[in-house]
Amino acid sequence: MNSHAKLRLLGKIARFDVCGYPQALVKHKRSERFSFIYRAVGEGGKFVRLFKVLKTNQCEGNCYYCVNRKDRNFSRVSFTPKELAELFMEYYTSGLVEGCFLSSAIYKNPDESQEELIETSHIIRKKYKYKGYIHTKILPMTSKELIYEASKYSDRLSINLESPGQNWLSKLSPNKNFARLISKLREISNLHSRKPLKSGLTTQLVVGSTGESDRAIMNLSTKLYHEFKLWRVYYSGFLPIKDTPLENNFPCSPNRELRLYQADFLIRKYSFTPEELPFDKNGFLPTDIDPKLAWAKLHPELFPLEINYASFSGLMRIPGIGRISAERIIREREKGKIKTLETLKKFGAVTARSRNFITLDGRSFSERKTSSKSLQKQLFLWEEI
C-alpha cells in the first residue's frame, strides 16, 4: 500500500479520537479522500484543520469497543516516522492542514510505539523546522522518560481515560487499569505544572456503552479540571464497530454527547458544581433541553432576576446570557437603565431564552415557549451563550 492509501485508511480510523465537537452539531461530511483532515475546535469555537492520523493500526490491545483490537480481522498498516513526518509536511505546506495530531495503536508495547511518535515529531520540528501545533497522544503506561521526551516537541499531550472508573473501564478495555491511567495522568499533569505545555493536557472518555451515568462523568471531569488542571475533557459518543464484542450495543445518542459538553462548559466557565447540574434520579442529564435552562427551570425561587441590579454571577446564571453579554450588560447599565428586550439583544443575550427569567426595570415578560428547533440552535456553548 502506498503512503497516500495508508493515510486514507489510518486517517479514517483516527476519527474515533475526538477533539471537541459534539456529533449533534457536526454539519459537514468528512471526505473519504481527506479522511485524515480533522476539524477540531479551538478556543472561542474557531475551527482548526488538523492532520490526524494513526501511526499504525496494529495493536496488541484487545479492547472490546475498538476498531484496532487485535482479534479484529482487517488490514493492518504502519508508517515509518520519516514517512509520516513527510506526509504531514506535504499537506501543511500545501495549506490543507494547520496542525498535527499524532496518535497510534499499541504495537509491541507502549514505549516502542511512543518512541516512534516522538521520532515523528522530532523530525517535523528539527528537520522541517515546523513551529506550529503538535498534539501527541500518550499511550497507556508509557514511561516517565518518554512522556518528558514527547513534551519537548508537543504543544499538547493527551492520554485517554476512556471511562469514569474501573467498573466501566473493565467493560470497555479489560486489560486497562483505571488507577494506573490516573497515575499516568498525574505524572503528565505534574510535568505540565513544572514545564507548561502551550495547549495543555486533555483526555477523552467514551460515552454510552457501559451504563456509566452523566453524574459519574461530570464528577470525574470536575476533578480532572481542578486537581489535574486539564485543558479539556472530550466526550466521544460510543459507536458500535462491526466485528467487536460490543457490535450489538446501541450507539450513544448525539444529544447525550452534546449535553455532556454543555454541562462541562457550565463547570469550566460558569462555576457550576456537579451537585448543581440537573441530573435525574439515575444521574442522567435531560437530553431535550440544555443543562443551564434545565437548572434554571428547577430553581423558580431564584428568578426573575432584575437585569439592572443583578450581580455578574447572577447574570451568568440566566439562560441565554453568557460571559460576554453579562460583561456588556454590567458596562452598559452604568450609562442608563436597560429597559427593552431589543436593547438586551444588542448586548448579545438570547432573549428568546432569557425573557422568562428576567425583569427589565421592573417589567416582566409573558412566558414564551421556545421551539425545540430553536433550542438546538441556541445550545452552542463555546460561543458564550
How far is residue 380 CA from its own chain's centroid?
13
User: Counting contacts by CB under 6 A, is residue 66 touching ligand SF4?
Assistant: yes
Matching residue, cell 416582566:
364
User: Which window, 56-64, 92-100, 303-311, 356-364, contacts ligand SF4 (CB under 6 A)?
Assistant: 56-64
Q: Build a one-symbol-per-residue string for 167-186: x at contacts with ligand SF4 by CB under 6 A, - elsewhere.
A: ------x-------------
User: 102 has which bridge partners?
Assistant: 53, 136
**61 vs 172: CA distance, rounded Å:** 11
User: Which window, 2-10, 22-30, 64-72, 229-237, contacts ligand SF4 (CB under 6 A)?
Assistant: 64-72
Structure-block grid coordinates of residue 193: 505544572
Nearer to ligand SF4, 52 or 69 (CB): 69
Complete DSSP assignment for 4-60: HHHHHHHHHHHTTS--S--GGG--SPPPSTTTTEEEEE-GGG-EEEEEEEESB---S
User: Counting contacts by CB under 6 A, is residue 204 touching ligand SF4?
Assistant: no
Residue nearest to ligand SF4 (CB): 61
Q: Which of 311, 82, 50 is nearest to 155 (CA)?
A: 50
Report DSSP state, residue 275: G
User: Counting contacts by CB under 6 A, is residue 69 touching ligand SF4?
Assistant: yes
Count of helices and strands (H, E) across the chain: 14, 10
Whether the Cβ atoms of residue 90 and residue 100 lie closer than 8 Å to each other: no
User: Counting contacts by CB under 6 A, is residue 106 touching ligand SF4?
Assistant: yes
Which of 7, 9, 18, 63 is close enough to bind ligand SF4 by CB under 6 A?
63
Amino acid at 91: Y
Q: Which of 245, 63, 227 is nearest to 139 (CA)?
A: 63
**40 vs 63: CA distance, rounded Å:** 25
User: Counting contacts by CB under 6 A, is residue 105 touching ligand SF4?
Assistant: yes
**172 vs 309: CA distance, rounded Å:** 50
Q: Which of 55, 62, 59, 65 is nearest to 16 (CA)?
A: 65
* Residue 68 CB, nearest approach to ligand SF4 (Å): 4
Which of 59, 85, 159, 289 is close enough to bind ligand SF4 by CB under 6 A?
59
* Residue 169 CB, nearest approach to ligand SF4 (Å): 11
Looking only at residues 261 through 280 of this chain, which bind ligand SF4 when binding is defined by CB under 6 A? none
**321 vs 102: CA distance, rounded Å:** 37
Nearer to ligand SF4, 89 or 105 (CB): 105
Count of positions on this chain that bind ligand SF4 (CB under 6 A): 10
**Phi, then psi, of 78 in degrees rounded to 5:** -145, 155
* Residue 137 CB, nearest approach to ligand SF4 (Å): 10
| Structural element, H or E, at residue 97 | none
* Residue 165 CB, nearest approach to ligand SF4 (Å): 17
Nearer to ligand SF4, 59 or 381 (CB): 59
* Residue 44 CB, nearest approach to ligand SF4 (Å): 31
User: Counting contacts by CB under 6 A, is residue 114 touching ligand SF4?
Assistant: no
User: Counting contacts by CB under 6 A, is residue 68 touching ligand SF4?
Assistant: yes
* Residue 107 CB, nearest approach to ligand SF4 (Å): 9
User: Counting contacts by CB under 6 A, is residue 205 touching ligand SF4?
Assistant: no
Neighbours of 286 (CB within 10 A): 16
User: Which window, 61-69, 231-239, 326-334, 370-378, contacts ligand SF4 (CB under 6 A)?
Assistant: 61-69
Structure-block grid coordinates of residue 300: 423558580
* Residue 69 CB, nearest approach to ligand SF4 (Å): 4
Nearer to ligand SF4, 14 or 344 (CB): 14
Q: Build a one-symbol-per-residue string for 125-164: x at contacts with ligand SF4 by CB under 6 A, - elsewhere.
A: ----------------------------------------
Q: Which of 93, 112, 94, 114 is nearest to 102 (CA)?
A: 114
Residues at the contact surface with ligand SF4, assessed by CB under 6 A: 59, 61-63, 66, 68-69, 105-106, 173
